[in-house]
Amino acid sequence: ASAQRPEDVIQRYMEVVAGVQDEDCIICMDQLSNPSGYETQPTEEGGPSILPGTVGKFIKCGHTLHMLCMLAMYNNGTKDGSLQCPSCKTIYGEKTGTQPKGKMEIYSIAQSLPGHPDCGTIQIIYSIPPGLQGPEHPNPGQPYTCRGFPRFCFLPDNDKGRKVLELLKVAWMRRLIFIVGTSSTTGEPDTVVWNGIHHKTEMLSNMSGHGYPDPNYLDNVLSELASQGVTEDCFKPP
């Protein structure tokens, strides 16, 4: 979590629009010409606060909504200094998650994956030990379990596979690969589970659907990474 004022985060990525809007706010569903139902927060650190009637427009995607509604959504989340447009999901800033502490290791395997006969294999090993949930988790102070760790994952060792690996390293550092929640496979709550960025955990067959061959896998995982704000732009200077 970052120490910056939530109001400043909103104003970094949204500009104030003047004039009555003939549209609805996607958060509160009321018209933009009516004020947001949220109340202006007294800001602890001083500085300007956002008024209920203020309408904001996202700087890249251009979607408009009550700035105070967006502030309420931000304050309800991890408050990491990033915003996501609730209309089109465009991410502003660096989205981070709540993955618990652990390690990501990378190894090389000479054997090829089914469907990728021309190259060797990259093996990723994720290890996360059990621990106590922090304030960012569903049940702070309660323990979380870690099933099936270390988890072994596989990528083809070609250009596209190596690109996916570099983006997975960014996603790992931003704590986006795992989340503490309820496993959809086992129903167990308060456990460390995958967070929507699919990994291949089966190397030489595809009986689980999480193995090889799968000709669409690398493209699919690239778009899952992009939906969390992890793209090749992460490697470009700002």
Least distance to ligand APR, CB of residue 91, Å: 20
Least distance to ligand APR, CB of residue 194, Å: 4
State in Å, rounded, how far the first CA of the chain is from the last one.
21
Contacts of 172 (CB under 8 A, 6+ apart): 99, 104
Least distance to ligand APR, CB of residue 131, Å: 16
Indicate which of Zn ion, ligand APR, none lies near residue 151 (CB less than 5 to 8 Å, by partner kind): ligand APR
Q: Does 230 bind ligand APR (CB under 6 A)?
A: no
Residues 38 and 71: beta-carbon distance below 8 Å? yes
Contact with ligand APR (CB under 6 A) among 210, 214, 222, 227:
210
Indicate which of Zn ion, ligand APR, none lies near residue 41 (CB less than 5 to 8 Å, by partner kind): none
Instruction: Report d(CA 155, CA 30) in Å as an integer.
Output: 47
Contact with ligand APR (CB under 6 A) among 139, 142, 185, 205:
185
Name residues contacting Zn ion, limited to 59-118 (CB under 5 A): 61, 63, 66, 69, 85, 87-88, 90
Indicate which of ligand APR, Zn ion, none lies near residue 108 (CB less than 5 to 8 Å, by partner kind): none
Residue 220's φ and ψ, nearest 5 degrees, are -65, -45
The angle at the Cα of 178, spanning 205 to 137, to the nearest 5 degrees, equals: 150
Q: Does 189 bind ligand APR (CB under 6 A)?
A: no
Residue nearer to Zn ion on the CB measure, 83 or 122: 83
Nearest alpha-carbon partner for 197 in 178, 224, 234: 224
Kindly report the number of other CB atoms within 10 A of residue 192's CB atom. Answer: 26
Q: Does 75 bind ligand APR (CB under 6 A)?
A: no
Contacts of 121 (CB under 8 A, 6+ apart): 108, 109, 110, 111, 112, 113, 154, 155, 156, 157, 203
Q: Does 137 bind ligand APR (CB under 6 A)?
A: no
Contacts of 78 (CB under 8 A, 6+ apart): 1, 96, 97, 98, 136
Contact with ligand APR (CB under 6 A) among 76, 111, 208, 216:
208
- Per this entry, what is the length of the chain? 238
**Coil, strand or helix at 81:** coil
Q: Does 57 bind Zn ion (CB under 5 A)?
A: no
Residue nearer to Zn ion on the CB measure, 87 or 227: 87
Q: Does 122 bind Zn ion (CB under 5 A)?
A: no
Contacting range for Zn ion; rule: CB under 5 A; set: 27-35, 43-51, 137-145, 192-200: 27-35
Instruction: Report d(CA 62, CA 88) in Å as an integer.
Output: 10
Q: Does 194 bind ligand APR (CB under 6 A)?
A: yes
Which stretches of the chain bind ligand APR, using CB under 6 A? 148, 151, 183-185, 193-194, 198-199, 201, 208, 210
